[in-house]
Homo-oligomer: A and B are copies of this chain.
Amino acid sequence: MPETAGGSRAGNRALSVMDLIREAILGGTVGAGERLNEVQLSRNLAVSRTPVRAALQALAGEGLLDYAPNRGFTVREFPLPAIMDAYDIRASLEGVAARFAAERGLRPEENAVIERSLAAGDKLLERGSFEAGDLTIYRGINGDFHDTLLAAARNRMLGEMIRICHHVPMSSSRNIVAFEYRDVRRRHDDHHRIHEAIVAREPWRAELLMREHVSSIKASLIRALAERNADHPGEARPADASMT
């Protein structure tokens, strides 16, 4: 076995193969609509077809691949409208998650994580502008906030659905670099208010705030795309965002 596949998830080739293929899709190594050849993949990854098939089926379950009998798996296409829809769907789902969290309450350690993320964001933003690397740092802060809230919702299915929304290409904020200081500032304020609503046990306010919060990300993305189109009129057509 030259270059054993992955290496991360020991003892289970299928899972590490799954991670590799997922990265290849999200990273754009394989394009949308492209067909994934099992024998070719197994050659490249130095495993047999069995774990490759398992990985492909699992990725189809995540909604990243399409399956057709006797025809194999293809990378699912995400046209721009579908990506925009994903934000609406995620806004709705994360809204429900915030409501559940407010109904069920935060555990002390969860509250601690959230308050830490709020404080870290405050510190990062107090300078009044962003320097290089700050956006990456805030991405981590933002992830902590949302992940903890999702855990506080105490519903597995909901978590999985939101995770699927995040895996839609370009739908996750980590795929976006065009955010400006004032966008992040405003979203961080949202976090404060959402936290307030949850500790005050105001479920419906929490839901509304979270919903608007995620929707505003969509609005930012639309603006960023429009600006990019204005800067480079030739390239970056709407279809361009469908994937990599």
**B93 and A89 within 8 A (CB):** yes
Q: Which of B70, B86, B96, B155 contacts A157 (CB 8 A)?
A: B86
**A85 and B157 within 8 A (CB):** yes
Residues of B within 8 A of A93 (CB): 89, 92-93
Q: How does the 8 Å CB contact mask read for A104-122 relative to B, with 1 for contact and 0 for none?
A: 0000000000000000000
A5 CB → nearest B CB, Å: 15
A10 CB → nearest B CB, Å: 10
**A158 and B89 within 8 A (CB):** yes
**B12 and A82 within 8 A (CB):** no
Q: Which of B11, B82, B155 contacts A69 (CB 8 A)?
A: B11
Within 8 A of B (CB), among A48-70: 53-54, 57-58, 60-63, 69-70
User: Which residues of A are at the interface with B, using a C-beta cutoff of 8 A?
Assistant: 11-12, 15, 53-54, 57-58, 60-63, 69-70, 82, 85-86, 88-89, 92-93, 95-96, 99-100, 155-158, 160-161, 164-165, 168
